[in-house]
Structure 1
Amino acid sequence: MRLLKWILKAAVFFALFAFALNNQQDATVHLLFGHQWRGPMMLIVLTAFLVGVVVGVVGMLPAWWRRGTGQLPAAPRPASPQDTRDTLAPPHGI
């Protein structure tokens, strides 16, 4: 199983490496107010991915903060065996 994981990781790495090698031509990103940024397409794709990761992490920070400070609503108390004795149906129609 460990060998299969390494083979899968290597395949993903080589696929991404081939993608990077095939996208080395310059690309232009047109920003606001007439500004533009020119760079290798792979760098632009990587930058867009990293911006997405940062936005996702920043969006999750409030939920992580609430979970870490214990401000989540209290979980319902599990029923004791005595509470459920009367409500359980007989097994398999017996």
Structure 2
Amino acid sequence: MSVLIDPPNWPGPRGLLWSHLVSDTSLEELHAFAALLGVPERAFDRDHYDVPETVHQRAVALGAEPVSSRELLSRLIAAGLRRRRRREPASG
């Protein structure tokens, strides 16, 4: 299992800091881990789950590997699982 989580450094809703939860193996693995963690499907965004700081420690206890945000992104790209947001064509 290769589920990764970065530090809760990203400001978000409810005044909490947020982390990204990804897999460098498969989206199926990521969805299964998120379900085990109790993260709702609505927290999924293209290639990761946004999880609040209140979940970080439990994710690590369940086996998520804590890594820096830079390493998380690097490993996601290397695995071919990065899904970038599509740019809208410029109007004009």
Q: TM-score, normalised by structure 1?
A: 0.19
The structure with the greater share of residues assigned to helix is 1
Asked which structure has the greater CA Rg, the reply is: 1
Q: TM-score, normalised by structure 2?
A: 0.19
The structure with the greater share of residues assigned to strand is 2
